[in-house]
């Protein structure tokens, strides 16, 4: 284990050079990881970065399904995740065997399956196309008009996309355990304390919260929205890591965390499993590595490529 602080950061950067690695980090990662990453972004931006990189090793600081997506589009590269237990409640809410059984049972519906990227390789392999919160509206609008859509696994994102597009879809009953913690009361309270500050919420929030928001968007679009807005303060209704990215890009503006009924801000325990120490050790040992059986990987790649093509 390396010493913490500047030495540790230098050792990580040195290992990164030696390994010819790229460090990709999600907007919810801890501040120290965001600061040394080569790219920080949302699931869509990270998917493009993963698909385009010429590095030999991808050190993915995010959760398992994100690193798995990077591996699916890069079978020849080594993809490492600092903590293999960094899962996702949304991904867990839709196991591939349950989805497969559901599709068999309802074969008469001939579903066109749209899967939010927060799902396993097994679920991706059963899907027609993948979407992220950044392109879900576009992907649903491009779906064949004569097919029934089954949207998995996030019922809140799915409901928001239905509101935006007017397209009817059947929704898998999954949810993000972090975003459902924001309530109408908790957001109304913080809004009363900061009158005039726009409320910016992630579409994984419930309807009761989304209708209070001035803007509902992906984490990356939160950056563009806040940059373009003349407002000086914003209430950010998503995971707390987002605040680092916003404050770094716009130090002159104020970002107020959206509270839940229990906490002043919301942390995703999975996103927070990655630490600088674990990133260091992952680059040193090239472990834990994401490994996917080739037949599964190849099936999961098709709907991801379709998404990347459709959302260009
Ligand atoms: P974004 O793609 O908007 O960054 O969302 C990912 C996520 O896991 C939200 O909880
Ligand atoms: Fe999954 Fe929610 Fe964590 Fe995002 S915030 S990774 S959806 S559990």
Instruction: Give the residue-averaged pLDDT of 279-283.
Output: 98
List alpha helices for 79-141, DSSP H.
Answer: 89-92, 96-105, 121-125, 136-141
Work out the average pLDDT over 79-103: 98
pLDDT value at position 312? 81
User: Model confidence at 4, in pLDDT bands (50, 70, 90)?
Assistant: low
Q: Is the CB of 33 under 6 A from ligand 2?
A: no
* Per-residue model confidence (pLDDT) at position 6: 79
Encode pLDDT of 30-60 as tens digits: 999 999 999 999 999 999 999 999 999 999 9
Mean pLDDT value across residues 129-158: 98
| Cα 108 to ligand 2 centroid, rounded to whole Å | 33
Residue whose CA lies nearest to ligand 1 atom number 4: 42
Region for residue 20 given its phi and psi (left: phi exceeds 0; alpha: psi -120 to 50; beta: otherwise)? left
* 221 Cα: distance to centroid of ligand 1 (angstroms): 11
63 lines ligand 2 (CB under 6 A): yes
For residue 73, give the DSSP letter. Answer: T
Q: 3-class DSSP state for residue 12?
A: helix
From the number of C-beta atoms within 10 Å of its C-beta (0-12, 13-18, 19+), residue 124 rates as buried
């Amino acid at each position: 284990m390396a010493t913490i602080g500047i030495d540790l950061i230098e050792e990580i950067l040195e290992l990164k050079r030696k390994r010819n690695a790229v460090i990709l980090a999600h907007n919810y990662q801890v501040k120290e990881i965001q600061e040394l990453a080569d790219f920080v972004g949302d699931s869509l931006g990270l998917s493009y970065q993963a698909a385009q990189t010429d590095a030999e090793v991808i050190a993915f600081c995010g959760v398992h399904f994100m690193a798995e997506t990077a591996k699916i589009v890069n079978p020849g590269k080594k993809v490492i995740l600092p903590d293999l237990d960094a899962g996702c409640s949304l991904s867990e809410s839709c196991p591939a065997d349950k989805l497969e059984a559901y599709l068999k049972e309802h074969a008469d519906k001939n579903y066109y399956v749209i899967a939010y990227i927060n799902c396993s390789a097994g679920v991706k392999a059963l899907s027609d196309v993948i979407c992220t919160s950044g392109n879900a509206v576009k992907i649903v609008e491009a779906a064949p008009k004569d097919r029934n859509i089954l949207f998995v696994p996030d019922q809140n994102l799915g409901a928001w996309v239905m509101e935006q597009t007017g397209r009817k879809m059947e929704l898998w009953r999954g949810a993000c355990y972090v975003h459902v913690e924001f309530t109408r009361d908790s957001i109304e309270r913080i809004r009363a304390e900061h009158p005039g500050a726009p409320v910016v919420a992630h579409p994984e929030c419930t309807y009761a919260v989304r209708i209070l928001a001035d803007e509902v968007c992906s984490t990356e679009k939160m950056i563009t929205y806040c940059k373009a807005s003349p407002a000086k303060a914003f209430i950010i209704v998503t995971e707390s890591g987002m605040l680092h990215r916003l404050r770094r890009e716009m130090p002159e503006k104020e970002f107020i965390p959206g509270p839940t009924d229990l906490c002043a801000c919301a942390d995703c325990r999975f996103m927070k499993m990655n630490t600088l120490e674990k990133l260091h050790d992952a680059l040193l040992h090239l472990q834990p590595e994401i490994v996917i059986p080739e037949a599964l990987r190849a099936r999961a790649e098709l709907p991801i490529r379709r998404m990347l093509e459709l959302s260009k």
